[in-house]
Amino acid sequence: MRVLSGIQPTGPFHWGNYFGAIRQYIELQEVATEAYYFIANLHALTTVRDAAKLQQYTLDGAIDLLALGLDPSRATLFVQSDVPEVSELCWLLMTGAPMGLLERCVSYKDKIAKGLKADAGLFTYPVLQAADILAYDADVVPVGEDQLQHIEVCRDIAQSFNHHFGQTFVMPKGKILDSSARVPGLDGEKMSKSYDNTLAVFADPKAQRKQIMRIVTDSRPMEDSKEPVGDVLYDLYALVATEDERDAMAALYRRGGFGYGEIKKALADAAERYFAPARERRAALAAEPQQLREILAAGAAKARVKAKATLKRAQQACGLSDW
């Protein structure tokens, strides 16, 4: 099983990104024969238009993944733009990507529906994603449910290329990440940087404690019991507490006789503890920028070998570069 996924560097990773995606990618590195993970900076360029920020988010994203347990000896970690063959492959795929297919993609459709102007980058975003996947002959692509449409587009494009030019690309399958890991934000809505309701994975613990203490709760009387599941504080706590702590907290909710202040404190404590080892690893990595550069350079070199071979195969199949 060759696993591949990309994550956009559009800001600091939050708990939704970690529990909903990153943690599961990292678990997959243990079972995959080969795993490729990259920071999708070319995709992020469709939204981040500040050079310093994009560069910062890209390097931070790589450090974060390593700190959270991505092991470069098991998985190939690289930055998308360090493999230019993918952009070249993207053009080949673009020539066979039906307009109608791309017009139906929600990221583009939603923007148009809101009356906003879209650019060609956003319109062809799924084709670049298809090139990402096909370049490495990935067969399993773990993604959140929101990305499933893009995997379908990738399959359509690959199928049509294979049909016209002969068997060239491996057909990938999407692997939907556990949707029960849908993390609520501070306001109870889905946690997302677009809603400004996030808890950053590597926030300063003191600042994060303040954020947690400010979470708005209902006006339930202290003595009343409450169903824990579905309550923002409990749901967040359940992610970072041990199993015993979680069970004890659920029992406390059902029994009643507690104030939200003590739950918030327990949540802040558990969060600080949960991410402490990763925070330490992150500090060590950030202090060694040369080491990070070496990891990314080695990852890109390995990824390029694979992407080059696939590009060559595709070029030969469609009548380019065979002399």
Interface residue list for ligand TRP (CB under 6 A): 4-8, 40, 43, 129, 132-133, 141, 143, 147, 150
Using CA atoms, how far apart are residues 120 and 139, in angstroms rounded to an integer? Answer: 28
Task: Please choose which of ligand TRP, ligand ADP, none residue 16 contacts, taking the beta carbon within 5 to 8 angstroms, the exact cut-off set by kind.
Answer: ligand ADP
d(CA 14, CA 8): 12
Complex with ligand ADP: residue 111 or 182, whichever CB lies closer = 182
Q: Which one of the spans 78-86, 120-128, 141-149, 314-322 is the region binding ligand ADP (CB under 6 A)?
A: 141-149
| 69-95 b/e (C-beta count within 10 Å ≥ 16 → b) | ebebeebbbbbbbbbebbebbbebbbe
The one-letter code for the residue type at 208 is Q
Nearest CA to 172 out of 188, 191, 156, 195 is that of 156
Q: Is 239 in the site for ligand ADP (CB under 6 A)?
A: no
Which of ligand ADP, ligand TRP, none does 141 bind, CB closer than 5 to 8 A by kind? Answer: ligand TRP
Q: Does 146 bind ligand ADP (CB under 6 A)?
A: yes
20/228 with CB nearer ligand TRP: 20
| By the rule CB under 6 A, 21 interacts with ligand ADP | yes
252's contact among ligand ADP, ligand TRP, none, with CB below 5 to 8 A by partner kind, is none
d(Cα 307, Cα 48) in Å, to the nearest integer?
A: 26
Q: Is 221 exposed, middle or buried (0-12, 13-18, 19+ CB in 10 A)?
A: exposed
The nearer residue to ligand TRP, 2 or 281, going by C-beta atoms, is: 2
Q: Which residues lie closer than 8 Å to 183 by C-beta, 6 or more apart?
A: 14, 15, 16, 19, 20, 190, 191, 235, 236, 239
Identity of the residue, 57 or 260, whose beta carbon is nearer to ligand ADP in the bound complex: 57
Residue 264 binds which one of ligand TRP, ligand ADP, none, with CB within 5 to 8 A depending on kind?
A: none
| Binding of residue 58 to ligand ADP (CB under 6 A) | no
Could you say whether residue 42 binds ligand ADP (CB under 6 A)? no
Q: Choose the one of ligand TRP, ligand ADP, none that binds residue 194, judging by a C-beta under 5 to 8 angstroms depending on kind.
A: ligand ADP
Minimal distance, residue 199 CB to ligand ADP, in Å: 10
* SS3 assignment, position 167: coil
Which of 4, 5, 9, 16 touches ligand ADP (CB under 6 A)? 16
**Residue facing ligand ADP at closest CB distance:** 20
Centroid of chain to Cα 50: 21
For residue 166, the minimal CB distance to ligand TRP (Å) is 24
Structure tokens at 42: 């070319």
SS3 10: coil
Q: Which is nearer to ligand ADP, 3 or 314 (CB)?
A: 3
- Taking contact as CB under 6 A, which single stretch among the options 44-52, 66-74, 174-182, 272-280 is the one that binds ligand ADP? 174-182
Q: What are phi and psi of 84, to 5 degrees?
A: -65, -20
Beta bridge partners of 175: 142
- Annotated active-site positions, please? 111, 190, 193
d(CA 63, CA 68): 8
Q: Can you list the alpha helix ranges (DSSP code H) found in 95-147?
A: 99-103, 106-113, 120-123, 125-135
Phi, psi values for residue 36, rounded to 5°: -120, 125
- Helix or strand or coil: residue 288? coil
Q: Does 182 bind ligand ADP (CB under 6 A)?
A: yes
Which listed option, ligand TRP, ligand ADP, none, makes contact with residue 5 (CB within 5 to 8 Å by class)? ligand TRP
Return residues touching ligand ADP (CB under 6 A).
8, 10, 16-17, 20-21, 143-144, 146-147, 177, 181-183, 190-194
